[in-house]
Amino acid sequence: MEKQTLSQFLLDEQRLRGIHDDEFVLLLNDIATACKSISRAVCKGALNGVMGSLECENIQGETQKQLDVITNDIFIEVNQVAGYYAGMASEEMDAPYEIPVNLRKSGKYLLLFDPLDGSSNVNVNISVGTIFSILRCPEGVENPKVKDYLQSGITQVCSGYALYGSSTMLVITAGFGVNGFTLDNDVGEFYLTHLNMRVPEDTHEFAINMSNQKSWEAPVKNYIEDCLKGTDGPRGKQFNMRWVASMVAEVHRILIRGGIFMYPVDSKLKDKGGKLRLMYEANPMSFIIEQAGGLSSSGRQRIVNIKPSGLHQRVPVIMGSKNEVEMMCSYY
Q: Binding-site residues for Mg(2+), please?
A: 91, 114, 116-117, 281
- Report in angstroms the alpha-carbon separations of 96 from 77, 89, 164, 277, 310: 14, 4, 26, 15, 12
Annotated binding site for substrate: 117-120, 209, 275
CA distances from 51 to 43, 63, 161 (A): 11, 13, 22
- 7: helix, strand or coil: helix
DSSP assignment of 182-226 equals EEETTTTEEEEEE-S----S--SEEE--GGGGGGB-HHHHHHHHH
What residues are paired with 192 via a beta bridge? 181
Nearest to 37 by CA among 81, 80, 74, 88: 74
Give me the sign of the Cα torsion angle 29, 276, 302, 259: positive
List, as residue ranges, the binding site. 91, 114, 116-120, 209, 275, 281
Three-class SS of residue 328?
helix
> What is the C-alpha to C-alpha distance for residues 329 and 253, in angstroms, rounded to an integer?
21
